[in-house]
Structure 1
Amino acid sequence: MIALTGGKILTMCGKTLDQGTIIIRNDKIRAVGSNLDIPSGCRVIDATGKIVTPGLIDAHTHLGIESEGMGWAGSDVNERSEPVTPGLHALDAINPADLGLLEAYQGGVTTVMVAPGSANPIGGQCVLLKTAPRATVEQMLLQRYAGLKIAFGENPKRVYGADRKKMPVSRMATAALIREAFWQARQYLQQQGEKDFKYNMGLEAIARVLRREMPLRAHAHRADDIITAIRIAREFDVEIIIEHGTEAYLVADLLAAEKIPVVLGPALSTRSKVELKDKTMESPALLYRQGVAFTMMSDHPVTPSCFLSLYAGLSTRYGLPARQALRMITCDAARILGLADRIGSLAPGLDADLVVWSKDPLIMSARPEIVMVDGEIDFLQAPPPC
């Protein structure tokens, strides 16, 4: 067992403990509180003067499937041969040795969602990983089926219409291709159990969404694309998460009313295409004031995942309360991912994923000194105590 003592503990699920103790056994948190009795034989780690938080959660990345420093050979993020490829799975392309994964871990990001890219109207299935270095991706796996990636707006039009002169050339065609695939999957479900039923890997992936076993994760920047994504989700009665959501603040009332979450960002990208022209750094504060459930992404490698805490900190400059800035990349992110019973907070029974910071993690000069994933410790800035 391990006892982490003396630090200021930001549990994110309850009160802050100015000088608290966390008891960890194997891969789980066993107790959190002040003046706890430390079991005999416990390894004690003194965190006096430090800040302890849950491990950070980056809810939208392409880590491991767009491996850094490898160019074309390490790029497996988009399958551009066909516009509709729901049967693909990011899990099969992840390189656990990607430097970006290691740096995310060293930056205090302990959980990441890895998604296919946005070239295709339907790009494939997403996965959730723990970032601690492991030999195989199976050893990092947190959730195999984390969503089905769909994409609206400029990217599918450019990749297929502008570059290859095939469907989709327009937003109409993008929506039609998604609808057609979902209608086929609905018929596929109805045919299950019949004598001549034939398994189809792509339709089975969409069937998981129709059965509400995983959500749609809809790449949508412009407000009208966000509304189109919601329209399709309504038609098929499926759960949806808006990814990027550059203009989500323009339809925040609808998102709040329908309880549709947003994975917002990346914050530090430029207005590199037309659908980003109304991007604003005030988006987190605007969504917060409207009651929209949201978290912030890095979209790694667009911006580095390892600086997620800095992106959250920057949002406080534009009106987001500091407490909420940290919540959105811990407990709120966990809730949006459907894993609040495992990660995102410091409470008994949850995974022992935490970070010991040199100071407030929203401050630029803060450094992760200890990162723990599933109870295993990595001392990044200081040697283990004697």
Structure 2
Amino acid sequence: MRTLIASLLVVCASNAIAQDFLIRGATVHTATSKGTLTDTDVRIRDGKIQSVGSGLAAGDGAVIIDAKGRALTAGMFAGLSTIGVQEVSQEETTNDASLGLGAPAYEMQWRPEFDVSTAYNSRSVIVPVTRIEGMTWTVLTPGTAESGNFLAGQGAAVTLDGRRDAVIDGSRSLFINLGGQMNSHSGGSRAAQWMLLEQAVHETRNRVTDEKALMHPLGREVFGRYLSGGRVIFNVDRAGDIVKTIAFAKRYGIKPVIAGGAEAWVVADELAEAKVPVILDPLTNLPNTFDQIGARLDNAALLHKAGVKITFTQFEDSHNARKVRQTAGNAVAHGMPKEAAITALTADAADIFGLGATRGRIAPGQTADLVLWSGDPLDVTSLADHVWIAGEAVEMRSRQLELRDRYFQRLKQSTAN
């Protein structure tokens, strides 16, 4: 049976066909109001989840996969990353994440029309490294170059199945970085960041065409879309700045998301009342900057308790994005319920980026992004046994595994000699 399943996975991956199949007897973390279901079947047809229940019939031509009680989750969110737009951090020709036009930061025009997802390389070697560990999608985020400004540009969610048209509709977001570390991009003061944001709104709404305006006409057009309910990711840590961000977004019709949020627990009630989600790294517990003085390991637990929707990421570590589930495990170790942490990496992440209707849950009608785990999905010792994206089996190979096998074989030969 195991040989049959392995053969099926390779055939599906190579032929890019979504095979109809039935996963039998799994522990299903649905990330819905039904919670976790034991000894449960999931039937997949045409790349979507058709039904979830007990004793389901496989249907004509469907293959049965015996889960043997193992955990089944929706495909997990790899966090905010530069997967596919940054291959080698120190090699400029492989780094497309940031926009730098050569002028001093405070003299540069803003370019919200910059969209990092247009540079996405679906054949990046980082993609398979990430997806074979259960991460089926990520959100590409633009960086702030040394010669740039604190409005970084746009990014979007991409599926990690290797397709060229990987951007997921409805996920596009604008990224704005705020706080003390952006002072060099705003004339030396965070107060100027709010001043410039107000100026950007004024120019956009009043169609300012002065040659010294912050933005080009296309930039104003793009920025204007986000003033009509668009999603803006504000990378900000200090509690006071988070409160100002909430007020700014409310004033101008923006749908805000807080990224970073080291001190978000301080203003958890305000975030919950305004329904503003937070993307955080649960391992942020020591201040790397003065904006993170209040960082603590139970940040996620406190936000969850207050009713704030959260998900997880690892900032500036895209090559290890797959380890985000382990950071979620740390959030559980510091008080966050386990099911809430799994939901944060699946359904809540999808909801935050406007994808909840099609991704993030194990429920009829959802895209069949699924992971069958060897053990606890948040345990460092567990592995993804099988991964499916849109019902298509992922070949569980990566460049890392190929290098391991190559040099292990050489080691065996040299030892034999």
> TM-score per shorter chain, which class?
0.7 to 0.9
The answer as to 2:327 corresponding to 1:316 is no
> Partner letter of residue 10 of structure 1?
H
SS at match of 1:208: helix
Listed as ranges, the gaps of 5+ residues in structure 2 are 1-19, 102-107, 210-215, 398-417
Distance in structure 1 (CA, Å) of the matches to 2:170 and 2:37: 35
Q: Which structure has the larger Rg? A: 2
SS at match of 1:202: helix
Q: Deviations over 1:80-133 (max 9, x none)?
A: 333622010011222223333322211211121111124532111111111122
- Contact 1:126-1:147 within 8 A present in 2 as well: yes
The answer as to 2:43 corresponding to 1:23 is yes
- Contact 1:83-1:122 within 8 A present in 2 as well: no
- Contact 1:241-1:262 within 8 A present in 2 as well: yes
Q: Deviations over 1:161-208 (max 9, x none)?
A: xxxxxx43210111122221122222249x9xxxxxxx9221121121
Distance in structure 1 (CA, Å) of the matches to 2:304 and 2:170: 30
C-alpha displacement of 1:281 = 1.2
The equivalences for 1:186-205 within 5 A come to: 186-188=205-207, 200-205=217-222
1:211 equivalent in structure 2: 228
SS at match of 2:377: coil
251-260 or 228-237, larger mean C-alpha shift: 228-237
The equivalences for 1:162-241 within 5 A come to: 167-188=186-207, 200-212=217-229, 214-241=230-257
Aligned counterpart in structure 1 of residue 136 of structure 2, from 85, 110, 129: 110
- Contact 1:269-1:303 within 8 A present in 2 as well: no
Change in 2 beyond 3 A, CA 1:270/1:303:
farther
- Contact 1:61-1:112 within 8 A present in 2 as well: yes
Stretches of 4+ aligned residues off by more than 6 angstroms: none
1:141 equivalent in structure 2: 167
The answer as to 2:83 corresponding to 1:63 is yes
Change in 2 beyond 3 A, CA 1:93/1:58:
same
Q: Deviations over 1:249-272 (max 9, x none)?
A: 111111111111111126368643
Distance in structure 2 (CA, Å) of the matches to 1:103 and 1:171: 38
Q: Deviations over 1:297-339 (max 9, x none)?
A: 1235267211121111111111111111111111111121221
Distance in structure 1 (CA, Å) of the matches to 2:90 and 2:83: 13
C-alpha displacement of 1:240 = 0.7
Change in 2 beyond 3 A, CA 1:83/1:173:
farther
Distance in structure 2 (CA, Å) of the matches to 1:52 and 1:145: 25
Query: TM-score normalized by structure 1?
Result: 0.88
Distance in structure 2 (CA, Å) of the matches to 1:268 and 1:67: 25
The answer as to 2:265 corresponding to 1:249 is yes
C-alpha displacement of 1:69 = 5.7
2:314 equivalent in structure 1: 298
- Contact 1:77-1:116 within 8 A present in 2 as well: yes
Distance in structure 1 (CA, Å) of the matches to 2:53 and 2:77: 23
Q: Over the residues paired in the alignment, what is the CA RMSD in angstroms?
A: 2.2
Change in 2 beyond 3 A, CA 1:299/1:271:
same
C-alpha displacement of 1:34 = 0.8
SS at match of 1:24: strand
The answer as to 2:365 corresponding to 1:367 is no
Distance in structure 1 (CA, Å) of the matches to 2:338 and 2:228: 38
- Contact 2:287-2:293 within 8 A present in 1 as well: yes
2:111 equivalent in structure 1: 85
- Contact 1:186-1:210 within 8 A present in 2 as well: no
Aligned counterpart in structure 2 of residue 356 of structure 1, from 350, 372, 375: 372
2:152 equivalent in structure 1: 123
Distance in structure 2 (CA, Å) of the matches to 1:38 and 1:99: 35
2:14 equivalent in structure 1: none
The answer as to 2:127 corresponding to 1:98 is no
Aligned counterpart in structure 2 of residue 157 of structure 1, from 169, 183, 207: 183
Change in 2 beyond 3 A, CA 1:97/1:268:
farther
SS at match of 1:40: coil
Distance in structure 1 (CA, Å) of the matches to 2:282 and 2:114: 24
> Partner letter of residue 93 of structure 2?
A
Identity of aligned residues (%): 28
C-alpha displacement of 1:218 = 0.5
Distance in structure 2 (CA, Å) of the matches to 1:83 and 1:354: 43
C-alpha displacement of 1:144 = 6.0
